[in-house]
Amino acid sequence: LEKATKKVTQGKPAQGKKERAYHHGDLRATLIAAALSLIERDGVKGFSLKDAAVMAGVSTAAPYRHFADKEALLRAIQDEGFRQFNSALNAAYESAGTPSAKLEELGVAYVRFALEHPAHIRVMFGLRGTDDSAQDSATDGDDNASGFLLLVAAVEALHPDAPAEVRHDLVMASWSIVHGFAMLQLEGAFAVAGDNGPAEEQLRRALRLTVVNVQ
């Protein structure tokens, strides 16, 4: 009977913890999801691999069948984060018609991703300051820069006749404003400013007021 139950539930990922088969099915993804929710609560340095294992319903040694060590899990989260992030920025860029709309939608997508994936963002930006600067710059070449290039392209399309330095300044300003907005929103810092409607609408007004309609 016990074996029958196990066989029935075999192969179905993301099932209830009690009916889980001996072979989990998709422990790798489940561990990443658990880690993300723990990082959201405790931060990148504050979460523990053991807690992630417990949350996934497996023993504390199980993660080592899928990740060489804790760092490897974090790198997997970072990679997944950049992939999703760049895909979101790409979609935003493509979806918009005019250059100014492209710039605005890029900004909105940037902030939306950060607010919807706070743990991913923390890992993506938090891993930079530490250890592997070699591996980081390697990833930069592929993944990380591509969002930046879309921003450069949008600004270039919006101000084709502006001097290169001005365009560069506008790129920096745009990146800064969306990054700052996202971080302050995540930290709850804007509470001091009182509630002024949905975050996305505030952001759109701020972007139009500054970088989108500049000059």
Partner DNA sequence: TGTACATCAGTGAACGCGCGTTCACTGATGTAC
To a copy of itself, the closest distance from the beta carbon of 138 in angstroms equals 13
- Smallest separation, CB 25 to a copy of itself (Å): 33
Contact flags string 33-72 toward DNA, x per CB under 7 A: --------------xxxxx-----xxxxxx-xxx--xxx-
Which of residues 5 and 48 has its CB atom nearest to a copy of itself in the complex?
Answer: 48
Is residue 21 close enough to count as binding DNA by CB under 7 A? yes
Q: In the complex, what is the shortest distance from the CB of residue 29 to DNA, in angstroms, rounded to a whole number?
A: 10
Reading the block at residue 146, the tokens are 């591509």
- Computed on alpha carbons and rounded to an integer, the radius of gyration of the chain in Å comes to 21
Q: How many residues bind DNA (CB under 7 A)?
A: 28
Binding residues for DNA, per CB under 7 A? 3, 6-7, 10-11, 21-25, 27, 47-51, 57-62, 64-66, 69-71
